[in-house]
Amino acid sequence: MTEKKRKTTYSIGIVLLGMLLGLLVGVMFGERLNRVKSPQVSATNTSSLISQVLALVDRAYVDKVDYDSVSGVMINAMLSSLDPHSGYMSAKETKSNGEMMEGHFEGIGILLHQHGDTVFASSITPHSPAFRAGVLPGDRILKVDTTWVSGRGFCKDMSNVVNLIRGPRYSTVTLGIQRGNTKKIQYIKLQRDVIPQKSVSVATMLDKTTGYIYIAHFSGTTATEFHSALLQLNKEGMKHLVLDLRGNPGGSLETAIRVADEMLPKGDLIVYTEGQHYQRERVKATSGGLFEEGQLTVLMNAFSASGSEVVAGALQDNDRATIVGHRSFGKGLVQRQFDMSDGSSLRLTVARYYSPSGRCIQRPYDKGSDEYYMDFLNSVTQDYELADSVMKAVYDTTQLFYTKKGRKVYGGGGIQPDVVLPYMKDSNLVYYNSLINKQIFDALVMDELSAHYADMIKRYPTAEVFLKEYKVDDATLQRIIARGEKAGIKRNDACLKRYGQEILSRYKASLAMSLYDDDVYYSIMLPYDWELQKALKTNYKL
């Protein structure tokens, strides 16, 4: 199952998922930086003390103990006392994290959607095992091998369904599905394979000279994807690039460096790293970047972290790009993964990274991990105000730095945009967000695909035909309203008057994403992205 790409939304609740992902990913040392000699670990009597405690628990504790779980908790407790981003990953978590960092995973290529007691195939990855076996968007998945996962008033937790379906390459899994109006269960046997996971979610031209690229995270394939996207947009006449890093939680530091290198001339400093056991290493841009000249705008928000901050910091400090949006998360710690013999791993902070001007944008964490995350959440949820605890620390004169051209920039808490956008406040959006959060659009799309997929794909064989000929009208809007009321969402006429067309477009975009791909979704919804539209009108002089 491919990870569901970010949809443009005004809902804080949905965006929090991106933040939580970012805290897990962080900035990881790439292959080149891993060549630094590993520090020697000295033995102490600590291990003896831990062994004594575990032996005592084994002899005297009232209940049976899961020692694997206890060990993980103990290690995490110790690491969290160091900093908020060091941590322990079980063997399963290590494998999952590795797949995300590599840009692919092993499975069958289905994006799942759960509604009520039923799991649906929401979209199918082209050329994947599911695609080749004939699984269709809208198919209801009732069984995985011999295990019932939905229907009959029963539905497993989605993470359990994912675990049942995913598995090693070349292994097999059998899905029991229902299609259309039939009650008969159809069984499809599939052989799992490697499924690519795009991190450059969309690359398109907004007009004759303006290109747009959205990078969801930095994986092992991002630099290649970004290079290909630049090649294509350059061919189409791009003179101005909008690079969207909103909600990008980071990933591979090496990849983030390669992305920045595409946009900086030879010799410009991109980043430097330094730690107690790691000597300072300065990384400079090389020649041959595909967009070293031309207007460049970078979109960021509070959930842009680590790797995305490396890119934005390099472009800002070298006066190469205008940064637009909101102050970023503020993660300037670099982790290295140390693998354990049982397949688990330690994600240990080994260095800090610094932007070309010398900024370390890491937010303070001296009050502990819990307070660290709570401060961040408070900063983005309390009335959407910019004057929060994170921002107050930024304007301390000791945090002042200068770009190559002498512009003032600040360290100590994220990347401060050159152009700060206000948070959008509109009470009418409560209704719109409720439709999103209760998955009304997705539920209607699954209904449509379950009943009419074959007819729709015959009538709209390509995305171009769909965009031109598929119509949404008042009858569509009434279905959305009725489905919302059934879910307990009271109709809001003021919202419908102001955002009715956008609501209809979102339904059409969600349907297009299941029928075709993410690019079609964005082509429909980007005109409604008010932050993007503000950025396009920005006339900030570097």
Active site residues: 306, 317, 331
Count the residues in the chain: 542
**What are 493's two structure tokens?**
């006429």
Answer yes or no: are the C-beta atoms of 163 and 196 closer than 8 Å.
Answer: no
**What are 2's two structure tokens?**
């491919």
Q: Can you say whether the dihedral through the CA atoms of 516, 520, 522, 527 is positive or negative? A: negative
> What separation in angstroms does the CA of 27 have from each of 200, 349, 351?
18, 9, 10
SS3 percent helix, strand, coil of the chain, rounded to 5, is 40, 20, 40
Find residue 534's DSSP bridge partners. none
Amino acid sitting at position 509 = A
> What separation in angstroms does the CA of 438 have from each of 126, 432, 444, 482?
28, 10, 11, 13
**What are 190's two structure tokens?**
């599939």
Say whether 229 sits in a helix, a strand or coil: helix
CB-neighbour burial class of residue 208 (10 A; exposed 0-12, middle 13-18, buried 19+): exposed
Q: Which residue has 């171009």 as its token pair?
A: 464
| Spatial separation of the C-alpha atoms in residues 145 and 139, rounded to whole Å | 16
Q: Can you say whether the dihedral through the CA atoms of 49, 50, 55, 61 is positive or negative? A: positive
Residues with Cβ within 8 Å of 351's Cβ and at least 6 positions away in sequence, in order, are 29, 273, 274, 275, 278, 333, 334
Count the Cβ atoms, other than its own, within 10 Å of residue 407: 14
**What are 517's two structure tokens?**
């791909």
